[in-house]
């Protein structure tokens, strides 16, 4: 009898956890994919298939469409881009019916620059930190200032947040708090010399003082 009660209690607990998981998913849905330069979109028109086309999102975030002309879609979800294109093309077409398909997408990445063996973009992985990204980039060079690794994180189109990390001799679990989990779009800079007077936030336009991120765009 006790065994049956334990089994029943376990099943009830598992069911409750399942319900909580579903509720959490409903309350906190996964973020939808945001279009970015390099993505490829396929436009299929049900009533006017002669207008079908495949376009790539340009570095400035625009696509060049046969009907609507240039439309900025970077920063939008596929649904939002669909609605915007329909809005633009309704000025030229009568009730257009469009199926917008994300054909190819740019995988999220971070950039490791400066004093590492192989600077450049790295496809971001689960639980990637600044140190693990540096190791994937070949590790520190002999002239690297590992005690002042800088991570630039985009806040918006004009502002970057600046985070300084001391990754020197970080080999113990208690020292892992000095590391940082990375996000897509982060720029990790390993400087050659100590950089002074860094502010917590800086204008994205001033990032070129330290490194030109565009040279690492895949």
Instruction: Give the DSSP H or E segment for 101.
Output: strand 98-104
Residue 34 — very low, low, confident or very high, per pLDDT cuts 50/70/90? confident
Rg (the chain; Cα; Å) = 24
Which sign, positive or negative, has the C-alpha torsion 36, 106, 217, 146?
Answer: positive
Q: For residue range 141-200, what is the model confidence (pLDDT) as tens digits?
A: 999 998 999 999 988 878 889 999 988 876 554 455 678 999 888 999 999 888 877 788
CA angle, 45 as apex, 41 and 48 as ends, to 5°?
140
- The length of the chain in residues reads 218
At 118 the three-state DSSP class reads: coil
> What is the fold of 109-216?
Outer membrane lipoprotein wza fold like (3.10.560)
Q: Which CATH architecture has domain 40-104?
A: 2-Layer Sandwich (3.30)
Q: For residue 71, what are the β-bridge partners?
A: 63
Average pLDDT over residues 93-106: 90
pLDDT above 50 for 12: no
CATH 3.30.1950.10 occupies which residues in the chain?
40-104
């Amino acid at each position: 009898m006790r065994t049956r009660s334990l089994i029943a209690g376990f099943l009830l607990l598992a069911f409750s956890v399942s319900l909580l998981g579903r509720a959490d998913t409903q309350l906190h849905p996964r973020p939808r994919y945001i279009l970015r330069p390099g993505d490829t979109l396929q436009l299929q028109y049900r009533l006017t298939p002669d207008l079908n086309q495949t376009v790539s999102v340009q570095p400035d975030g625009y696509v060049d469409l046969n009907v609507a002309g240039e439309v900025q879609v970077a920063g939008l979800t596929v649904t939002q881009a669909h609605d915007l294109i329909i809005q633009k093309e309704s000025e030229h077409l009568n009730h257009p019916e469009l199926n917008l398909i994300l054909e190819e997408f740019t995988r999220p990445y971070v950039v490791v620059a400066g004093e590492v063996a192989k600077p450049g973009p790295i496809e971001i992985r689960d639980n990637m930190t600044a140190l693990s990204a540096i190791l994937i980039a070949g590790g520190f060079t002999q002239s690297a200032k590992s005690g002042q690794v800088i991570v630039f994180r985009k806040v918006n189109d004009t502002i970057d947040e600046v985070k300084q990390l001391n990754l020197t001799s970080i080999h113990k679990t208690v020292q892992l708090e000095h590391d940082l989990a990375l996000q897509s779009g982060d720029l990790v800079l390993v400087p050659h010399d100590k950089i002074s007077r860094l502010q917590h936030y800086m204008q994205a336009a001033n990032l070129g003082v330290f490194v030109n991120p565009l040279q690492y765009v895949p």
